[in-house]
Structure 1
Amino acid sequence: MTLRTTLDFLLHDWLDTTGLTSRERFADHNRETIDAVLDTCERIAREKYAPFNRLVDTQEPHFDGEKVTLPKATHDAFKAYAESGMLSAAQDYDIGGMQLPYSVEAAANAFFACASVSIGSSLLSVGNANLLMAHGTELQKQVFAHKEFSGQWSGTMCLSEPQAGSSLSDVATRAVPDGEGFESDPLGARYRLRGNKMWISSGEHELTENIVHLVLAKIPDADGKLIPGTRGISLFIVPKKMVNAQGELTGVRNDVALAGLNHKLGWRGTTNTLLNFGEGKFPVDGQAGAVGYLVGQPGKGLACMFHMMNEARIGVGIAATMLGMAGYYASLDYAKGRPQGRPITGAGKDAAAPQTRIIEHADVKRMLLTQKAYCEGALALELYCARLIDEQHTGSAQDAEEARLLLEVLTPIAKSWPSEWCLEANSLAIQVHGGYGYTRDFPVEQYWRDNRLNMIHEGTHGIQAMDLLGRKVLMEEGKGLTLLSHRIMATVNRCNGIPVLAPHAKALARALQDVGVATQKAWSTGVPGEALANAVPYMQAFGHTVLAWIWLDVAGCALDNDPQQESLVTQGHVGCAKFFFHYELPKINAWLGVVQSRDLTCATFPEGAF
């Protein structure tokens, strides 16, 4: 089954994306226009991205002290992507958008992530612009966001600092008012920023004529001291090159300097940078300090930035999923053509018999089926979340509220689950290739290296797990968790009436009950240190339960369309569901065991004993 076949089934049969075209915002679209978008993106990914995936891995970005050089293939790919209109696919017509459902945009972008994730890393520009559309002034939208949607400019997200890492409360970058009248600048209250930001993807390049940095910094109090914690954090637009209120470049470079490139295990085609803000290398108006324009209210920067971070987390989930999928397709192709070994018959092996292809061996099928179940299940989850975003923006008041609650609970899973289990799929793809999988003659080792980064991107597993167990399942008196449980039970009740799926439905109901019990027992003492000591095992069990639900729902849809399983596509969906329930869902018992008992083995292990 090809990626396009999978996407078509998930979008049209399972999620009924075409049904969205009955809504006013999407009224100009239909199945034909949606398919045309997918056709275009599939072609661009095939022609401009996939052939150069190895090239950008070996020809890393180079900084000569003045500028960063990227391969011509990266420039050509970005140009083709921008010209396709996908940067503004979901935006309004009046700013050059296509008013496509976000679920279609997400599906279309899957082709690029599968073809070359480090070339196709433009999601931050879209997320940057979307944040400004939600929290910026009208002029900030026009000057900065619209140019990012057009591809003229690009954007970044500047949170982490060398000394702080993921601990945003320890951000030390300062922003002070830029002289008298700083509040009257038409682009926003004008500040001068000084500090350092680390791990900034696409922080310096020549792909676009300007780069729009969104930077978290602290505004000092009346005594000139930084406010501890996150209360003092504000958000600023810091362009690489200065612009006027008409959105024109002034010819002045802002005081943002590239300190160096980070050379990572994977994503080698993407520039990853350490940026110095306000060090005086490019003084503006004769003064050191990077010029930044306030977004939203002072001290509310983190709330604004979470708009972009949550969107980026779904983007990371899609990237992880598609890297896993790329490895799956490569190992499937290899297994179909690689002869090795002979079948075992009643009399044992016949050395004179012809060799069998390795796909005929049960253990190789196990590894391929594991990859398929992980990656296609993760893709379904990501598209389900994308569809929730469409509901949040265009559904009825009740549907929008339910979508919001579900996204709150599912976003940590949408980011973390693919980045763990689709990475495992990449490991299995290497295993299928045997010794060849470790060589650069085959692409699977690069897919693994590229995917290993996604466990850290936009928040580590530990951060996502504490967010899930410490906030999301508890927030608003557990409304999100309750709603998700109702959705899962609706699938259980429906599939109880389908004989081939009924045993799985019962297993899912038990798993859901076990997760609920574990949630209560984790918090039964009310001590956060005890509840969160095993947050990651909790998230793993929660995620596996969600994926079991996704697979049961997908299989139920496939059988609705093809009750006799005459199609190999249906057999694939039902077989994956069976595999997941037999091989994967039982794993949750061990994870939930330590959660329910509030086991403190890890938390109390003495440092000196390591």
Structure 2
Amino acid sequence: MTVPLLARRDIDFFLFDWLKAHDLPCRNRYVEHSHENFSAFLDLCEDVAARYFAPHNKKGDAEEPQFDGESVTVIPEVKQALDAFVGADLLGITMDYEVGGSQLPRTVADAGLAWFAAANVSTYAYLMLTAANANLLMAHGSAEQIESFVKPMLKGEHLGTMCLSETEAGSSLADITTRAEPAQGGCYRLFGSKMWISGGDHELSNNIVHLVLAKISGGPAGAKGISLFVVPKFVVAADGTYQRNDVTLVGLNHKMGYRGTTNTVLAFGDGAHNPGGAAGAIGYLVGEPHYGLKYMFHMMNEARLAVGMGAVALGYTGYLKSVAYAKERRQGRAAKSAGVSAAPVAIIEHADVKRMLLAQKSYVEGAMALALFCSRLVDIAQSPLSPDEGVSAELMLDVLTPVAKSWPSQWCLEANHLAIQVHGGYGYSREYDVEQHYRDNRLNAIHEGTYGIQSLDLLGRKVGQLDGAGLAVLDSAVRNTIAEAAAHGGEVGVHATALTAAWTDLLSVTEVLLVHDDLEVSLANSAIYMEAFGHIVVAWIWLQLLCVVGARDGEFFDGKRQAGSFFFRYELPKTGAQLALLRSKDRTTVDMRPTWF
């Protein structure tokens, strides 16, 4: 039985029945597009992902990139897949026409690109990072940098990275020590090292464009002194020749997942290669000095949403494979059968297997809808029908971004966990895909900031910033959905009442936590706040979906209704205990002493 990577009918339902993506061409940026070419784009993504990415997913996992001290070897299928992707004009799909992009709406683009993450997240990572790198330079780079680096990236001639973390600093970017010294010709010379750099070295492209955070000597201390630099692996001379920059691969990191993506330790300015005879890696300042962290957030926020969608895709494809397995695998007998004389049934007939599949369905479909909703906010912000609409979209997106990154990374991983369990003993073996999906997805909880960092961002910044303006926009949207659902009556009306109670409780607890009489205590359980916030937001998303389903007939819609009801009955009630704990400003974790462990 051939199992699709993603369910196309689900994607169409989210895009066209719910989000009305076919209306996006009424916005100036997207007037050249139509429902027909949106569908053709989705067809193309499904085809390219299935033909060029999925077939080497297990091979790339088993045959990791190798470093012989001089160069990195990656299996040839990776390059073939990248070439197919670029050849289909997918790399610049959302970017401006003027640089060779297609200005496709992010809502549609992200839905289509999810097939690549589902097919082979390791190979797709090279492309995701490159697109985000190019988008940052389009927003903050100079005309010369766009010409020299963005256009070659969109042709697949260069690939891109982001270089933030260091061995000692980790996620504490204020403590980075990589330094930049002004040099002749308006460039800088960089010295330092970076850790955990995905796609940091390979032979898959003519050049690698590193975006590197560093501190210019003599600048402000801490995060205020961080600047951003383009540091290419090769410096391109005026005559078009390539000269090796002083960027050295120290070694490869070997992770439990994403094994096909090179993950590197890089040294800048260690003297292995001295272009022009001077010390240091040549770097080109992006924008103004000391605004590097602000610029990098352009790429980080895009990458956060992409990581969230990647988590969705891995959870979703694992769910579909576990459903297919459960329909074929015959084991045990129905509880109401007459004993061992009855024939074994497909395990999908067992109530506990249905529970695990329903949980997966509620997680992955809710997460997919959340991710696409955020993509739609990006489209509205980029091409608003009014100034107020654009501002509201940006405010809501600010609040939802840490949720859209972290909630799928937690709960679509849980879907992968349940997919393994549905497969039984086979689920733990490498002959079946679901164990690799779990390993790959486990990394998304730490990619682009850990769960704890995202939760501190949500509670410590996003819900309170601008006097709670973003939360107020979200509040209005939630209450509009509740009113619409209440008008439906029946089961949907019951769910609307449950969401009203949970949302009101969340807002009340948020007010309590934003009173920083003791900041450490207020933020101590931010991760629990994130989990409760995310569950309630996904319940809101499910309520929107159920309003769209309405009373429509058919097994497809029956499945949506059942999954939505599962989330409201099994998942939303969990937030009550979490919010009660948060309201108490419990000190258990704060008061715990290191010597007691």
Same fold (TM over 0.5): yes
Of 432, 437, 453, the residue aligned with 2:427 is 437
In the alignment, residue 252 of structure 1 is paired with which amino acid?
Answer: Q
Of 534, 540, 554, the residue aligned with 1:567 is 554
Query: What stretches of structure 1 of length at least 5 have no aligned partner?
Result: 184-189
Question: What do residues 561-606 of structure 1 show as CA deviations (whole Å, max 9, x unaligned)?
Answer: xx2x312221122111101000000111121122111111011111
In the alignment, residue 585 of structure 1 is paired with which amino acid?
Answer: L
Alignment check: 8 A CA contact 1:545 1:585 kept = yes
Corresponding position: 1:367 with 2:356:
yes
Alignment check: 8 A CA contact 1:213 1:240 kept = yes
Alignment check: 8 A CA contact 1:461 1:536 kept = yes
Q: Which residue of the partner structure matches residue 600 of structure 1?
A: 587
Corresponding position: 1:150 with 2:141:
no
Q: Which residue of the partner structure matches residue 144 of structure 2?
A: 139
| TM-aligned CA deviation for residue 555 of structure 1 | 1.1
Corresponding position: 1:503 with 2:503:
no
Q: Which residue of the partner structure matches residue 391 of structure 1?
A: 380
Separation (CA, whole Å) in 1 of partners of 2:511 and 2:33: 46
Question: What do residues 224-274 of structure 1 show as CA deviations (whole Å, max 9, x unaligned)?
Answer: xx64310110000000000246xx743210000000000000000100000
Q: Which residue of the partner structure matches residue 76 of structure 2?
A: 72
Separation (CA, whole Å) in 1 of partners of 2:583 and 2:449: 25
In the alignment, residue 54 of structure 1 is paired with which amino acid?
Answer: K
| TM-aligned CA deviation for residue 84 of structure 1 | 1.1
Q: Which residue of the partner structure matches residue 586 of structure 1?
A: 573
Q: Which residue of the partner structure matches residue 176 of structure 1?
A: 181
Of 486, 503, 515, the residue aligned with 2:476 is 486
Alignment check: 8 A CA contact 1:522 1:597 kept = no
Corresponding position: 1:272 with 2:290:
no
Separation (CA, whole Å) in 1 of partners of 2:240 and 2:522: 53
Q: Which residue of the partner structure matches residue 596 of structure 2?
A: 609
**Aligned ranges 1:319-468 → 2 under 5 Å:** 319-345=310-336, 349-395=338-384, 396-468=386-458
Q: Which residue of the partner structure matches residue 235 of structure 1?
A: 228
Of 41, 45, 49, the residue aligned with 1:41 is 45
Q: Which residue of the partner structure matches residue 186 of structure 1?
A: none
**Aligned ranges 1:149-228 → 2 under 5 Å:** 149-179=154-184, 182-183=185-186, 190-221=187-218, 227-228=220-221
Alignment check: 8 A CA contact 2:237 2:243 kept = no
Specify the SS of the correspondent of 1:118. helix
Alignment check: 8 A CA contact 1:280 1:287 kept = no
State the aligned residue count.
590
Alignment check: 8 A CA contact 1:132 1:140 kept = yes
Corresponding position: 1:102 with 2:106:
yes
| TM-aligned CA deviation for residue 275 of structure 1 | 0.3
Separation (CA, whole Å) in 2 of partners of 1:525 and 1:170: 26
Corresponding position: 1:295 with 2:286:
yes
Separation (CA, whole Å) in 1 of partners of 2:97 and 2:287: 25
Question: What do residues 260-307 of structure 1 show as CA deviations (whole Å, max 9, x unaligned)?
Answer: 000000000100000000000011111220000000111110000000
Query: What stretches of structure 2 of length at least 5 have no aligned partner?
Result: none
In the alignment, residue 595 of structure 1 is paired with which amino acid?
Answer: L
In the alignment, residue 97 of structure 1 is paired with which amino acid?
Answer: G
Question: What do residues 201-243 of structure 1 show as CA deviations (whole Å, max 9, x unaligned)?
Answer: 000011111100000000111xxxx643101100000000002
Alignment check: 8 A CA contact 1:158 1:197 kept = yes
Separation (CA, whole Å) in 1 of partners of 2:344 and 2:438: 29
Q: Which residue of the partner structure matches residue 28 of structure 2?
A: 24
Normalising by the residue count of structure 2, what TM-score does the alignment of the two structures yield? 0.97
Specify the SS of the correspondent of 2:189. strand
Separation (CA, whole Å) in 1 of partners of 2:157 and 2:395: 35
Specify the SS of the correspondent of 2:224. coil
Specify the SS of the correspondent of 1:485. helix
Separation (CA, whole Å) in 2 of partners of 1:349 and 1:159: 63
In the alignment, residue 207 of structure 2 is paired with which amino acid?
Answer: N
Question: What do residues 387-442 of structure 1 show as CA deviations (whole Å, max 9, x unaligned)?
Answer: 00000000121111011000110000000000000000000001001111111111
Separation (CA, whole Å) in 2 of partners of 1:145 and 1:525: 44
Specify the SS of the correspondent of 1:404. helix
Separation (CA, whole Å) in 1 of partners of 2:452 and 2:590: 13
Question: What do residues 309-356 of structure 1 show as CA deviations (whole Å, max 9, x unaligned)?
Answer: 0000000000001110111011111100000101122xx651011001
Alignment check: 8 A CA contact 1:281 1:288 kept = no
Question: What do residues 54-77 of structure 1 show as CA deviations (whole Å, max 9, x unaligned)?
Answer: 000001001111111111111111
In the alignment, residue 12 of structure 1 is paired with which amino acid?
Answer: F
Separation (CA, whole Å) in 1 of partners of 2:26 and 2:217: 51
Specify the SS of the correspondent of 1:259. strand
Alignment check: 8 A CA contact 2:180 2:188 kept = yes
Alignment check: 8 A CA contact 1:374 1:425 kept = yes
Of 91, 105, 127, the residue aligned with 1:87 is 91
In the alignment, residue 238 of structure 1 is paired with which amino acid?
Answer: V
| TM-aligned CA deviation for residue 500 of structure 1 | 2.5
In the alignment, residue 217 of structure 2 is paired with which amino acid?
Answer: P
Specify the SS of the correspondent of 2:200. coil
Specify the SS of the correspondent of 1:80. helix
RMSD of the TM alignment (CA)? 1.2
| TM-aligned CA deviation for residue 507 of structure 1 | 0.6
In the alignment, residue 260 of structure 1 is paired with which amino acid?
Answer: G
Q: 1:259–1:609: structure 2 CA closer, same or farther, 3 Å change rule? A: same
Alignment check: 8 A CA contact 1:88 1:97 kept = yes
In the alignment, residue 553 of structure 1 is paired with which amino acid?
Answer: Q
Alignment check: 8 A CA contact 2:71 2:202 kept = yes
Alignment check: 8 A CA contact 2:209 2:232 kept = yes
| TM-aligned CA deviation for residue 486 of structure 1 | 0.7
In the alignment, residue 581 of structure 2 is paired with which amino acid?
Answer: V
